[in-house]
Structure 1
Amino acid sequence: MALLEDPIATARLMTREVRTGERDGVATRIAVARRTYRTDQADLWDALTDAERLPRWFLPVSGDLKVGGRYQFEGQAGGVVEECDAPRTLAVTWEFGGTVSWLRVNLLPADDGTTFELVHEAVVDPDMWAQFGPGAVGIGWDLALMGLGLHLDSGAAVDPAEGLRFPLTPEGLDFVRTAAAGWCDAAIADGDDPEAARASAQGSVTFYTVEPDGA
């Protein structure tokens, strides 16, 4: 059974922005994703921060979930909780594969629910950016936040196995291609060469939609 009836429309619920930044004199690239969910701030905050609820749409989490404490997502990133202002702002380091980036989530009241804003800043290897562009991190967040939307709409848990298979399905391919195009447009708006940005977008689509053995 498909996770989404209309994957293209769901992917278009997200607005995407790319910025160029700097930390301690080092250039960074910043991916910004925004989506409005049909729920209030308290419910969305709970879905993002409650250790019992996070696995229903993302991953099991452990650690000391307070400012200054370390957290760890099972099989994924960990880091330090740097700021927590419920139910508005959460900021953490995002440490994975020997790299450190910075993640900030802002929740803003909206007429039809709550706007979720994710700001992910990283020092990016130029060769990696040329190969995958912002879609390398952006599409991953698109997929995770799709799962958050499914959970918020139904109250049920998203099947992790089905979530992993999703990008390999026709519906998943439509979703990933639409998300990649959005990140490509955002990179071009930030000054990237259009031809190079489109090539990077195709690289990110391939990364998410081809099984590791190339099948």
Structure 2
Amino acid sequence: MKDFIAELEAARRSVGTGSLPAGEARVITIERTYPVDVEDVWDAVTDPERIPRWFLPVTGDFRVGGAFQVEGNAGGEIRACDAPRLLRLTWVMGPPTPEDSSVVEVRLAPADGGGTTLTLEHTAVVPPEMWDQFGPGAVGVGWDGALLGLGLHLDSGEALDPAAVLESPELRAFNVASSAAWGSALAAADGLGEDEVAARVAATTAFYVPAEDTSAQG
């Protein structure tokens, strides 16, 4: 199995602000390069038959303006699809809002020296209390995990075994490191104090990496 931490360290993260029809928004951005061509990455992130091999099953109307639903996760509408460079869609947990409050954009470009650079940008109106508790890691760790899955799939060409990945100690370590990485990105963007960043990292880590139950162990 590939080194999960090396996969995490291959990505660059940033935190910023933006705006959507629903109001002022927070923006998280992840950029990383995969050693395959643009067409292969595009197919992996847009083909509904292939997406479950590295992410989750998805259903819907896969045209611009069509609605989609990711199994057990978010749904939304496809807003732009410019193959093989740009995919933009809304990304909402639960019922859609009257105005766009969460938008994900994926951009692909040939990388210098070969391969494909993928940039994922998630812009969302975040309740202040949620941002103050978790910071960017609330969604950032999840997206890091998705891009890890994509990388593993692109490397092997095979479908992942979700149970094996989710139950692996390597993924727990990956999520801990991802939470810390988003804390560093937040500190660089907002200039928060060390204790403030540490509190957000701790809350995010506790959500994604809950303490293991050792009560049944002898």
**2:115 corresponds to:** 113
Task: Determine which of 105, 122, 125 is the counterpart of 1:123.
Answer: 125
**2:182 corresponds to:** 183
* Structure 2 residue ranges without an equivalent (≥5): none
1:60 & 1:211 partners in 2: Cα distance? 28
**1:210 corresponds to:** 210
1:20 & 1:214 partners in 2: Cα distance? 41
**2:137 corresponds to:** 135
**C-alpha contact 1:72 1:79 (8 A) present in aligned 2:** yes
**1:57 corresponds to:** 54
**C-alpha contact 2:20 2:124 (8 A) present in aligned 1:** no
**C-alpha contact 2:4 2:148 (8 A) present in aligned 1:** no
Report SS of the residue matched to 1:157: coil
The one-letter amino acid paired with 2:173 is: D
TM-score (norm 1): 0.90
- CA shift for structure 1 position 214: 10
Task: Determine which of 80, 86, 92 is the counterpart of 1:83.
Answer: 80
- CA shift for structure 1 position 162: 1.9
2:50 & 2:22 partners in 1: Cα distance? 38
The one-letter amino acid paired with 1:96 is: M
Task: Determine which of 13, 20, 41 is the counterpart of 2:10.
Answer: 13
* Structure 1 residue ranges without an equivalent (≥5): none
**C-alpha contact 2:176 2:209 (8 A) present in aligned 1:** no
- CA shift for structure 1 position 22: 2.0
Question: RMSD over aligned Cα, in angstroms?
Answer: 2.0
Count of equivalent residues:
209
The one-letter amino acid paired with 1:136 is: A
Where do 4+ consecutive residues of structure 1 move more than 3 Å?
97-100, 211-215
2:213 & 2:132 partners in 1: Cα distance? 23
**C-alpha contact 2:137 2:182 (8 A) present in aligned 1:** yes
